[in-house]
Amino acid sequence: MIERYYVRPETVDRIRSSWIANAVEKYASWLTELHYSFRSIARRIPIVVSFGDFAQKRGATKWEDLPAHVEPFVECWLRERAKGRRTNDERVKIAQCVRNPIRQMLRLAIPNYVGLTRLKKPENPFAQCAPCFFEYLRSEKGLREATIKQYTYHLRFLASYFDRIRLKNMRNLTPVVLSNFITEYGQRVGWPNLRNACGTLRVFLRYLYREHVMSKDISHTVEFPQSFRLSGIPRSITWDQVRHVLESVDRRSTSGKRDYAILLLLVTYGLRAHEVSRLTLDDIDWRNQRLRIPERKASHSTAYPLSTVVGEAILEYLKNGRPQTQDRLIFFRCVAPCKPICSAAIVARACHYLKKAGINVPRPGSHTLRHTCVQRLVDADFPLKVIGDYVGHRSPSSTQIYSKVAIEALRQVALGDGEEVL
């Protein structure tokens, strides 16, 4: 494997003479499998070889001795090779470029090596007083994993708040404390998150009372923030703006081929970001020209006719953009490591192209194109039930928000005198 990246035989011999040569070979193979670039691999291997020599001079004789020498090696590297880098940000960046290859190699060579990666937080921040709460959510309430993650998210903020005010015993919890938390939390998150947090608190407090952790049920004191039905306005854009977004994609590049197909899926079928990220090769029936979206938010699947434009864009990406992999998922990262793209990345790419096209819209992202798809169907006078089934709405009330605003008519009023419209 080493011969692929170095031409001179003496370079290959020097690498293989290192006492960690087996780990270096394994590391090079791992980088190759993850589609790291030739230049990146050729730059990383000398770093790990130099680290092995450095650790050996300091008395390292076995694999378990190596982690203790990582930070001293990084400091030595900065002293010798980063003298001209004066700013702290430059030195931190160089240190990361040196430290990361070493950590990657040690994870392959040493079982259970973690390094200085971020510690994984426990799922249940209240494991001491309510150890079976998340089991209750799964078995008795039957919640989906995505919903349970939201419970974890909100309860972590609650636990952090309790630590800050030094509330140790849940029996001392009062409605005043809950009110102060909700007031403080509401300044950090938007209305939808605050509403979900209140729902999480009510379920959690009822569970604590049922398990006799609390002597009184105070869940009813947590009031949902006041909302008005259909108060929101769709975040849709015009079809001309959609064309500008699609034209802003450089389809000559690998990422451009991928992003163009993703944007077409979002605006043509009104898909959610996680639905696009989970698409597999098995979901496209090329013979019958069908696109299947399994496991939607409403726990059902939808089959669409495969649009010619969308099919051609996906096919172009599969032929000339998608990396060679055994994974059945369609969309992948364009840089190493070669992994499937996540829903957050799809939101970020949609936001990038909306801003690149100069389109100002509240909270730009993938849902902007989803709203545009729905609004276009509303303007075409499709029934709301048909539209809701098309985009996978759980309830008809989710679709009604699009029917209250005559977008095109209001644009005509804004641009002209509006007499013909009125």
The residues carrying an active-site annotation are 272, 297, 367, 370, 393, 402
299/418 Cα distance (integer angstroms): 44
279/373 Cα distance (integer angstroms): 19
86/84 Cα distance (integer angstroms): 6
304 φ/ψ angles, rounded to the nearest 5 degrees: -115, 150
2/171 Cα distance (integer angstroms): 63
Length of the chain: 422
Classify residue 146 as exposed, middle or buried by CB count within 10 Å of its CB (0-12, 13-18, 19+).
exposed
